[in-house]
Amino acid sequence: MFNRERDNGPHFVRRRNMRPFVSAAVALSIASTAGVGEYSANDPFLLPRLAQNFLQDACPVVPSEAARIVDFAFNRKGQVPSTDYGIFKQFAQNKAKELGLTLVEVEPYLDQLYQASTTREVLDLLNAFTSNFSFSVEVPSGMELKDVFLPYKAVDFDSLDFERLKSGTEIFMSTFNFVPVEIVRASEIRKVKIVDESPFANGMRTAGVYEALPDTMILPLHTFYNGKPHVIIHELGHGVDTSYCGMFVYERDPEYRHLNPDGFVYGSIMPGYDRYVVSKYSTTKMYEDKAEIYADILTPFSDYRSYTPVQLEKAKLLLARLEAAAPSTAEYLLAINVHNYKIVAEVSSSSCAPRTYPCKS
């Protein structure tokens, strides 16, 4: 159930892929047991969204216009004038404004953060920041964890390390420095819950979790303290993926699956896997593959920017989905990409045809 992700520990995303196995009546019964009635009291759109997701057969094919915009934007990439932070930030802000997108100014919140003197002040300030994106951050009590599937424990609020909380809050807010509000809202994530970092029975720890039904990102305290932007954006990617594809069809994505070569199977690591996915963790599940690429394309200074042709096609498809969900975001993300999506050549070999897997060199 848990898989260890490269440097940042394991991630786990839970979905309720019930559609092939249950009738609508049974699904609604299960949803009721899971507390959907309680959720819908706070979210009047939840039940209609569940019904729509349940009737959806597969992840929608990306609109041709969104794909065209991405192709056009790729031809205009390379506009970043400098990687100097100040110059780069001004460029990103100007580009977002030009495209009608919203970037939240982080610095005023950081200035207030440095002056904060209590744990409550830090959390209130963090929520003032995240309210711009339409989600909240909570340190829930035990009762408030009842909608979380995994057996996390509540954090003792009074035992929070103030300095580490401030440090983690600074990194958390800075993670969204160049992420448009429109993308975060498209993910439909409503809450981030900070939970006890105690390991589970098998000794494994999670670095982050995305729960689809309550639209919640769960961050263990150790992740929040240590500041892991990749984990945060990876889980955001799960939200974008679920919002676009639907919570019941997250693995039914023929358009994305077709980009993998014949014979490629998720759940196994075979020679040549890094020609088709951006990290070892991407090999575990298709939805983890997508989340890793979302984390990449939403991070201007990503280490994964040199792509093979297959990886590039995956990135272009997900950019087109972002464009469909939040117009103008693809052009913005391509404009601020400082590495210009370099393509690394495939190894030329008679046994390494582009649509063959595994590729033996």
pTM of model > 0.85:
no
Residue 72: per-residue pLDDT? 84
- The band of 336, judged by pLDDT with boundaries at 50, 70 and 90, is confident
Q: Is residue 242 part of a domain?
A: yes
Name residues whose C-beta falls within 8 Å of residue 96's C-beta, 6 or more positions apart in sequence.
Answer: 102, 103, 180, 332
Amino acid at the residue 10: P
In a domain, 354, yes or no: no
Q: Enter the tokens of residue 67.
A: 């794909």
* Residue 143, in any domain of the structure: yes
Looking at every residue in the chain, the average pLDDT score rounds to 78
The contacts of residue 193 (CB under 8 Å, 6+ apart) are 137, 138, 139, 140, 144, 145, 148, 216, 217, 218, 219
pLDDT at 351 over 80: no
Model confidence at 147: pLDDT above 60: yes
Q: What is the dihedral of CA 269, 271, 275, 277, to 10 degrees?
A: 0
What is the extent of the structural domain holding 268?
A: 3-335
Whether the CB-CB separation of 178 and 334 falls below 8 Å is answered with: no
pLDDT in tens, 272-296: 888 899 899 999 999 999 999 999 8
* Segment 8-25, tens digit of pLDDT: 333 334 333 333 333 343
Q: What is the pLDDT of residues 79-138, one digit of tens each?
A: 666 778 888 899 999 999 999 999 999 999 999 999 999 999 999 999 999 999 999 999
Instruction: Decide if pLDDT at 6 tops 50.
Output: no
Cβ proximity of 126 and 137 under 8 Å: yes
User: Is residue 345 included in any domain, yes or no?
Assistant: no
**Stretch 305-327: mean pLDDT:** 90
Decide if 350 is inside a domain.
no
Q: What is the reported pLDDT for 348?
A: 33
Query: Does the residue 351 lie in any domain?
Result: no
Residue 90 is predicted with a pLDDT of: 92
Measure the CA–CA gap between 37 and 210, rounded to whole angstroms. 20
Is residue 358 assigned to a domain?
Answer: no
Residue 192 counted as domain residue = yes
The total number of structural domains that make up the chain: 1
Least confident of 21-30, 201-210, 295-304, 330-339: 21-30
pLDDT at residue number 151: 75
